[in-house]
Amino acid sequence: MTVKDALAARKSVRAFRPDPVPAEVLEELFTTAQRAPSWCNIQPWRAVVTSGAATTRLRDALLEATRTGMPAPDAGFPIDYPEPYGSHRKECGKVLYGAMGIARDDKAGRFDAWLRNYQLFGAPHAVMVSMARTWGIYGALDVGCWLQSLMLTATELGLATCAQASLGAYPGVARAVCAIPDDEQLLFGLSLGYEDSAAPVNEARTSRSPLPANVRFLTT
């Protein structure tokens, strides 16, 4: 598989089969992603990968947090979506809820769909990602490079992923279950495993803008 093939094939998967990924495949995945570039090669990404009972413990604790607490992510979530971002966000929701058969005004259905984030969409593994609080935006860029490296490698290995900022919404819980130190900022999580390709939600496909919306070639 070429990098271009992996870029074309990767998508967010929101229904997984329960079978765990063998330990040696996990090792290969994370070892490959270590090649991601970073500011002065500081390699600021820190990840805790859960399996088995640890996944169950994290999932249960996060679900309990959704029932008893309010989201309070370390890195505040965006609130305003001016154009063109508002339209992109709307299209993303439409594609996703459309694939799940949830109507626009179905509040209970949307709430259930949000809760599925904390069930890890049925995945056998969670990856909780943090970085030292000192790094700011350049550290976050490095973690982004690592994230895409990880997701493309996962694609090549036949694995499925969903990056989830929602998994960072209850940082106290993740911090306690995964022993993430206080001087680390929790950024996001990922669900990781094998795609349940029979699940309608995995038919959701987001679009991308035509190139001039994002890139200008300046020649004179």
Ligand X SMILES: Cc1cc2nc3c(=O)[nH]c(=O)nc-3n(C[C@H](O)[C@H](O)[C@H](O)COP(=O)(O)O)c2cc1C
Which positions lie near ligand X, rule CB under 6 A?
11-12, 14, 92, 117, 162-166, 188, 206
Query: In terms of CB distance, is 24 or 208 closer to ligand X?
Result: 208
Query: In terms of CB distance, is 23 or 75 closer to ligand X?
Result: 75
DSSP H or E run through 131: strand 125-132
Distance separating alpha carbons of residues 84 and 93, to the nearest angstrom: 15
- Return all residues near 145 (Cβ < 8 A) that are at least 6 apart: 36, 37, 38
Residue 109 CB, shortest distance to ligand X, in Å, is 15
Residue 188 CB, shortest distance to ligand X, in Å, is 5
Residue 157 CB, shortest distance to ligand X, in Å, is 17
Distance separating alpha carbons of residues 37 and 214, to the nearest angstrom: 22
Query: In terms of CB distance, is 22 or 74 closer to ligand X?
Result: 74
Query: In terms of CB distance, is 40 or 198 closer to ligand X?
Result: 198
Which pairs count as long-range contacts for 3-8, CB under 8 Å and 24+ apart, including other chains?
A: 3/152, 6/152, 6/153, 6/155, 6/156, 7/152
Residue 12 CB, shortest distance to ligand X, in Å, is 4
| Alpha-carbon separation of residue 214 from 11, 147, 209, 218 (angstroms) | 20, 21, 8, 13
Query: In terms of CB distance, is 36 or 163 closer to ligand X?
Result: 163
Residue 52 CB, shortest distance to ligand X, in Å, is 23
Residue least distant from ligand X (Cβ): 166
Cα–Cα–Cα angle for 57, 62, 65, rounded to 5 degrees: 130
Cα–Cα–Cα angle for 100, 157, 197, rounded to 5 degrees: 25
